[in-house]
Chain A
Amino acid sequence: DIQLTQSPSFLSASVGDRVTITCRASQGISRYLAWYQQKPGKAPKLLIYAASTLQDGVPSRFSGTGSGTEFTLTISSLQSEDFATYYCQQLDSYPYTFGPGTKVEIK
């Protein structure tokens, strides 16, 4: 199975900050990576797929880059509604594993 790691696991930031989260895969997955945002008690929300394609309706302050084994999610200017947990997911081969998550909290 492909393992995903995320760093950091926890992030404390202020409104307006630029935030970057990294996801690393245990083997190459081309660009078959998605990013999700999840708030407590809610289903995950798709932000980005194919490493860098913004899902319809997602604000342009979210962006994704990477290919192969290293990927990043960037929030260019953190807003209050962005405080949540973020997960990456590989869609290269089954099982479609998720990263362990990065919790973004208010500083």
Chain B
Amino acid sequence: GENVEQHPSTLSVQEGDSAVIKCTYSDSASNYFPWYKQELGKGPQLIIDIRSNVGEKKDQRIAVTLNKTAKHFSLHITETQPEDSAVYFCAAHREYGNKLVFGAGTILRVKS
């Protein structure tokens, strides 16, 4: 089955700096890669996603890149703000599969 590894497990950055979280997946048949943000006491919320026919996608300060050959994808947050502090999860969905497989999560702390 699919396995998703996520790094780092914790990340501290200064407000205004960039943050990068990386994930690798094992199943080359995976074709959908969402990122979720989970704030304290809340459920994960979809913030951006990318499909395997696209190499990069941007939405304001966040972007996701996908390298299908290397089977890894990354979340980039620029100009970080204190409200970006949360746990971020990557996930992969296998084509013709039924479920998302999540990475272990990254705790992002933005220091002001």
A binds B: no
Chain B residues in contact with chain A, CB under 8 A? Answer: none
